[in-house]
Chain A
Amino acid sequence: MKTLLMLTSTLGMALREIRRNVLRSVLTTLGIVIGVAAVIMLVTLGQGATDKVTGDIAKMGVNMLTVVPGAERRGGASVGAAPLTLDDARAIRQEIPSVATVAPSAGRGLLVVSANQNWSTTVTGCTNDYLSVRDLRLAVGRSFNEAEAQGGSPACVLGPTVRSKLFGQGDPLDASIRVGKVACRVIGVTEAKGQNTFGMDQDDFVLMPLTTFQRRILGSRDVGAISMSASTETAIPKVKTQLAALMRARRKLPEGAPDDFSVRDMKEISETLSSVTGALTALLGAVAAVSLVVGGIGIMNIMLVSVTERTREIGIRLAIGARAYEVLLQFLVEAVMLSLFGGVLGMMLGLVGSYAAGRALSFPFRVLPEVVVIAFAFSFLVGVGFGFFPARRAARMNPIDALRHE
């Protein structure tokens, strides 16, 4: 009971002391305020960046794997590797059970022309499965029908960018456009996806049936890439191994020869990117944490000044019957309160700041409760750590000398 009372009056005394010197208290805590705000902002923004990257990659296709001809190496795929074929796609569908959808495709950069507008874009020949593998949804219109997929009258689906470049606000459905040299009817427009993490426009494309594309544009039966979606996320590694084995067999690669194709895996890319942003966040957070230490030194400095300034007061308290540890506690509580005060202020500043910055950068805003707790705990520890030395100096004073101090 008495200890509790002692503690509340110590808190009261500390509060009074802080209020007595408002400007100094605020300046003292500024270091902590900035430190905590910086840590919270960087970590929250870092988390936002990671969330955004993960979200973007999910948009590029769920559980998606892509196989392309040519070994993966710096500087792009090697020239001369045999192209993929529709038979490869068929084989994958038949032999690998964990694959849900297989979408062979081929692409080329071409000029597309409507009545009075033209636009240079990527034209991809594909099947309807491509839409589901790439997680593309139609905003208006429909996907390819059976006749079109078999190579009937040329039809195409536009990405929103192409649509607005060619038609502005006008209705594109059933309009006729020219893709390269092929006249083509617009049957649908996909939903907008926006830019991806790398700033690439994901809406800038034209899709047409693969058969039509091969026959009328490519002039060969080559397939540029085969995308597929694994039935579950956990099946991705298994699919990858089976796919590599199948492709090696089909391409008759001898034992020990390097792959002349490569498999890209969205999950892998997403994990790499997440770990990069994560590491960056940790690094920046650590740098910000240094400013917390600097803030702590600021508190220690002011507390040392305060102890010297209040030597007489300490003498009075000791003469009146304060024990050394009670004086220690008083100054320690004062330092901790200053530090916590700074911590709370910094926390609010950091959250507001990261919310604003997140909006400006269009990052999702997600508060990590553990970061808030850690920042709070850290400012408490800074207060204890850097408050202890000045407090001990106060507690060790000799009452006679302290009373005589001018």
Chain B
Amino acid sequence: MTDTAAPLIALRDVFKIYGSGESEVRALDGVDLDIRTGEFVAVMGPSGSGKSTCMNVLGCLDRPTRGRYLFRGVDLAGASLDQLALVRRHYLGFVFQGFNLLARTTALENVELPLVYRGVPTVERRRLAAKALADVGLGGRELHTPAELSGGQQQRVAIARAMVSEPSLLLADEPTGNLDTARKHEIMRLLRALNDERKITIVVVTHESDVADFASRTILFRDGRIERDERRGAPS
């Protein structure tokens, strides 16, 4: 991680406003944020603080009402929905609180899915998906469906799915919200390892401080603004 590199992500005076007039709600109220390649960022804040909205904007799932969103130096403020989809396809990986795996579909097929949209040939797709599953410690579970896996295992499948396309940025929205403490730490150690070993940039939204402790930087949202932005020393 070098501080001189151009930021992977830069939000400049970003607003997200719902409604208008009296009922106007400013989910994001002038946010400035830089995230550099290789960072492991925890986004915290009470519910309604704008952390999820920020996540959606970062994840190109939502467009800001105002302001600039630079991804790898390219402004996405005016991008079309299809262009945003392509950014997601090629640069982003998602992990959700509810795992969001396709039901009645094997782990392998779930992990393959992003590669399908990338147009990777079947054989190569199988190989990469199997490898990604092995990387998260689920080698041998390729043909299990989500219903046959525990919550922690499902979340590992989801992480494998997010990682299989080698994204520039991994976005995790409350990834441990549905897990017990032991599983929670297991998942966070996995993310930590991905960040350490592969220099994957990770942004985790959480409201639990023990989860945030795994990150090297913590951003606290309140009322649509960044209230605090702390870095710990660079991870070993």
Residues on A facing B (Cβ under 8 Å): 1-2, 5-6, 9, 13, 20, 312-313, 315-326, 399-400, 403
CA–CA, A313 and B161, complex, Å: 14
Contact present for B82 and A323 (CB under 8 Å):
yes
Q: Which residues of A contact B118 (CB under 8 A)?
A: 321
Given A324-B85, A400-B56, A400-B62, the answer on whether A316 and B119 have CB atoms closer than 8 Å is no
- B61 CB-CB contact with A under 8 Å: yes
Contact present for B89 and A324 (CB under 8 Å):
no
10 pairs of A and B residues whose beta carbons are closest in the complex? A321-B89, A2-B119, A321-B88, A323-B85, A320-B114, A9-B116, A323-B82, A5-B119, A399-B61, A319-B94
Min CB gap B28→A, angstroms: 14
Contact present for B56 and A326 (CB under 8 Å):
no
Contact present for A320 and B86 (CB under 8 Å):
no
Q: Which residues of B contact A5 (CB under 8 A)?
A: 119, 121
CA–CA, A317 and B113, complex, Å: 8
The B contact surface, by secondary structure, is helix
Min CB gap A382→B, angstroms: 28
Interface size for chain B: under 10, 10 to 19, 20 to 34, or 35 or more residues? 20 to 34
Contact present for A400 and B113 (CB under 8 Å):
no
Given A321-B86, A324-B85, A400-B62, the answer on whether A316 and B117 have CB atoms closer than 8 Å is no
Q: Which residues of B contact A312 (CB under 8 A)?
A: 100
Encode B72-90 as 1/0 by CB contact (under 8 A) with A. Answer: 0000000001100111111
Contact present for B61 and A400 (CB under 8 Å):
yes
Q: Which residue of B lies closest to A8 (CB)?
A: B122
Given A5-B121, A313-B102, A315-B100, the answer on whether A323 and B86 have CB atoms closer than 8 Å is yes
CA–CA, A204 and B151, complex, Å: 87
How many residue pairs at the A-B interface have CB separations less than 8 Å?
63
Contact present for B88 and A319 (CB under 8 Å):
yes
16 contacts between A and B (CB under 8 A): A5-B119, A6-B119, A9-B116, A13-B116, A20-B104, A313-B103, A315-B100, A316-B102, A317-B113, A318-B61, A320-B117, A320-B161, A323-B86, A324-B82, A326-B117, A403-B100
Which one of B56, B62, B92, B117 has the greatest number of beta carbons of chain A within 10 Å?
B117
CA–CA, A169 and B82, complex, Å: 86
Q: Which residues of B contact A315 (CB under 8 A)?
A: 100
- B221 CB-CB contact with A under 8 Å: no
Min CB gap A326→B, angstroms: 7
CA–CA, A320 and B82, complex, Å: 12
Contact present for B117 and A322 (CB under 8 Å):
yes
CA–CA, A325 and B56, complex, Å: 21
Min CB gap A118→B, angstroms: 80
CA–CA, A400 and B114, complex, Å: 18
Q: Which residue of B lies closest to A315 (CB)?
A: B100
Q: Which residue of B lies closest to A325 (CB)?
A: B82
Q: Which residues of A contact B122 (CB under 8 A)?
A: 9
CA–CA, A1 and B120, complex, Å: 10
Q: Which residue of A lies closest to B59 (CB)?
A: A319
- B96 CB-CB contact with A under 8 Å: yes
